[in-house]
Chains A and B, each alone.
Chain A
Amino acid sequence: MNQERRAQWLRGVLDLCVLALLSRGESYGYELSQALRAHGLGAVQGGTLYPVLLRLQRSGLLTAHWREGGTGPARKYYRISPAGSAALRAAAVDWSAFASSVGTILREEPKR
Chain B
Amino acid sequence: MNHEPWLAALTGELRRHGVGPDLTGHVVAEAATHLLDSGESPLRVFGAPETYARAVVDSLGGPDVRPPRRQPGPVRLAARGITKRYRGRTVLDRVDLTVRAGQIAAVVGANGAGKSTFLRICAGLLSPDAGTVEVHGTLGYCPQDGGTAEFLSADEHFVLIGAGRGLGRAEARRTGRAEASGLAWTPPRRTQARHLSGGTRQKLNLVLARLGEPDVLLLDEPYQGFDRGTYLDFWHEVWRWRDAGKAVVVVTHLLNQLDRVDVVLDLSGERAA
A–B proximity contact (CB within 8 A): yes
User: What is the CA–CA distance of A58 and B65 in the complex, to the nearest angstrom?
Assistant: 14
Contact segment of A19-27, A72-80, A81-89:
A72-80
Interface of B is mostly: helix
- B219 CB to closest chain A CB (Å) equals 35
Question: Is B36 within 8 A of A46, CB to CB?
Answer: no
Within 8 A of A (CB), among B87-109: none
Question: Is A72 within 8 A of B36, CB to CB?
Answer: yes
User: What is the CA–CA distance of A45 and B44 in the complex, to the nearest angstrom?
Assistant: 8
Contact segment of B51-59, B114-122, B179-187, B225-233:
B51-59
User: What is the CA–CA distance of A64 and B34 in the complex, to the nearest angstrom?
Assistant: 16
User: What is the CA–CA distance of A101 and B82 in the complex, to the nearest angstrom?
Assistant: 72
User: What is the CA–CA distance of A66 and B44 in the complex, to the nearest angstrom?
Assistant: 25
Q: Which of A28, A50, A52 contacts B31 (CB 8 A)?
A: A50
Q: A45-B46, A46-B31, A58-B61 are in contact. Are A51 and B36 (CB under 8 A)?
A: no
Q: Which of B26, B46, B58, B59 contacts A46 (CB 8 A)?
A: B46
Is B163 in contact with chain A by the CB < 8 A criterion?
Answer: no
Is A11 in contact with chain B by the CB < 8 A criterion?
Answer: no
Is A98 in contact with chain B by the CB < 8 A criterion?
Answer: no
Q: A45-B44, A45-B45, A46-B45 are in contact. Are A51 and B59 (CB under 8 A)?
A: yes
Question: Is A51 within 8 A of B55, CB to CB?
Answer: yes
Q: A45-B46, A54-B27 are in contact. Are A73 and B33 (CB under 8 A)?
A: yes
Q: Which of B26, B32, B46, B60 contacts A47 (CB 8 A)?
A: B46
Question: Is A74 within 8 A of B34, CB to CB?
Answer: no
Is A6 in contact with chain B by the CB < 8 A criterion?
Answer: no
The residues of A that contact B31 with a CB separation of less than 8 Å are 46, 50
Q: Which of B29, B32, B45, B56 contacts A51 (CB 8 A)?
A: B56
Is B256 in contact with chain A by the CB < 8 A criterion?
Answer: no
Q: A45-B46, A46-B46, A47-B52 are in contact. Are A29 and B61 (CB under 8 A)?
A: no
Cβ proximity bits B20-37 to A, threshold 8 Å, 1 near / 0 not? 000000110111111011
Number of A-B contacts (CB under 8 A): 62
| Nearest neighbor of A56 in chain B, beta-carbon distance | B59
Is B137 in contact with chain A by the CB < 8 A criterion?
Answer: no
Q: Which of A30, A52, A55, A58 contacts B34 (CB 8 A)?
A: A30
The residues of B that contact A29 with a CB separation of less than 8 Å are 30, 33-34
User: What is the CA–CA distance of A28 and B59 in the complex, to the nearest angstrom?
Assistant: 18
| Nearest neighbor of B36 in chain A, beta-carbon distance | A73
Question: Is B29 within 8 A of A74, CB to CB?
Answer: yes
The residues of A that contact B32 with a CB separation of less than 8 Å are 73
Among B26, B31, B47, B59, max chain A CB count under 10 A is at B59
Is B257 in contact with chain A by the CB < 8 A criterion?
Answer: no
User: What is the CA–CA distance of A55 and B62 in the complex, to the nearest angstrom?
Assistant: 11
| Nearest neighbor of A49 in chain B, beta-carbon distance | B34
Question: Is A76 within 8 A of B55, CB to CB?
Answer: no
Instruction: Beyond the given A50-B46, A75-B33, please list 12 additional residue pairs across the A-B interface where CB-CB is below 8 A.
Output: A45-B47, A46-B31, A47-B52, A51-B55, A51-B58, A54-B60, A55-B59, A58-B59, A58-B61, A72-B37, A76-B30, A76-B33
| 5 closest residue pairs by CB, A with B | A51-B59, A30-B37, A55-B59, A47-B46, A46-B45
Complex A-B: 17 CB contacts under 8 Å: A45-B45, A45-B47, A46-B38, A47-B52, A50-B30, A50-B34, A50-B46, A54-B27, A54-B56, A54-B59, A54-B60, A58-B59, A58-B61, A66-B26, A72-B33, A73-B32, A76-B29
Measuring CB to CB, which residues of chain B are less than 8 angstroms from any residue of chain A?
A: 26-27, 29-34, 36-38, 44-47, 51-52, 55-56, 58-61
